[in-house]
Amino acid sequence: MADASDFRTAIKPVWCPGCGNFGILTALRGALADSGLEPNQVMIVSGIGCHGAVTQYVHANGFHSIHGRTLPVATGIKLANHELQVIAMAGDGDGYGIGIGHFIHAMRRNLDITLLVHNNKRYSLTTGQTSPTTEKGSSTKSTPFGVIEVPVNPLTLALSSGATYISRGFAGDPPHLRKLIADGIAHKGFALVDVLQPCITFNHVNTNAFYKEKVYKLGEDGDYDPTDMVAAYERAVEWGDRIPTGLLYKESRPTYEDEVMTIKDMPLVERPVVGVDISKTMEQFR
């Protein structure tokens, strides 16, 4: 059985020292091990952003996709081989900006995919412009006089779009995040793990200290029922002196893959191709 070290590669991450991505990477490797998975059973699809190189840092199958298209690529892979554990990775700009349409449709379809979003509230790879989750009034490279837009709330959007596992973690608490990711992987259906990730270089508001002062775990202040959608909405809009983390909402319903007849007996990749010569196409991938 694999452990976290089996998901390491020899490539050293190039993120800024102190970046929240390190905590997310540690939590992800641990969660994969906790899930009882072997590297060959996992496919990680990343997008464009500081998170994108994660496919080089995790010893598993990987696909570095283009900006905003993480979920369409992950969907294609999952339908081609639904026996793979597919984990999509995105940044807040990547997943909640150009990719927001794919985000909504993947949730309503209830694809059996885990989406892990590195939410640092900036386009940090391109040096700090405002992103869809940047707080109103924030001064950034692209909004020196302050953001005038209301930010996207990924949790309320996920609730209204039909995601069946919705959680929020904090990069500064890898053990807690590790469990959220592992539980998302174990969940049969679309699982969102939105991660509050400090960017030490371009976001000097939502810092590690900022989050450590405000975040709390759902259930630690009394009973919390993650099957209660009304309660989930109430916590999803909570942002200020207290910011909830943990499992926000969970429900069970058939996945998209459950209802695709052509993959019920075997994965598409195992089906024989009859009457078509694809050898020349396959040669391109050798």
Each residue's pLDDT tens digit, 160-194: 999 999 999 999 999 999 999 999 999 999 999 99
The arithmetic mean of pLDDT across residues 135-160, rounded, is: 94
> Between 276 and 202, whose confidence is greater?
202
- How much is the pLDDT for 218? 96
Alpha carbon 225 to chain centroid, angstroms: 23
Helix (H) / strand (E) containing 22: helix 21-34
- Indicate whether 249 pLDDT > 90: yes
User: What pTM, to 2 d.p., does this model score?
Assistant: 0.93
The arithmetic mean of pLDDT across residues 11-40, rounded, is: 96
Distance (Å, whole) CA 86 – CA 77 = 8
- Band (pLDDT 50/70/90 cuts) for residue 136 is very high
With 0-12 / 13-18 / 19 or more C-beta atoms within 10 angstroms meaning exposed / middle / buried, residue 83 is exposed
The arithmetic mean of pLDDT across residues 6-33, rounded, is: 96
- How much is the pLDDT for 286? 75
With 0-12 / 13-18 / 19 or more C-beta atoms within 10 angstroms meaning exposed / middle / buried, residue 210 is middle
Domains contained in the chain, CATH given: 4-258 (3.40.50.970)
- How much is the pLDDT for 283? 87
Distance (Å, whole) CA 286 – CA 138 = 49
- The distance in angstroms from the start CA to the end CA of the chain is 30
Alpha carbon 13 to chain centroid, angstroms: 19
Distance (Å, whole) CA 110 – CA 96 = 18
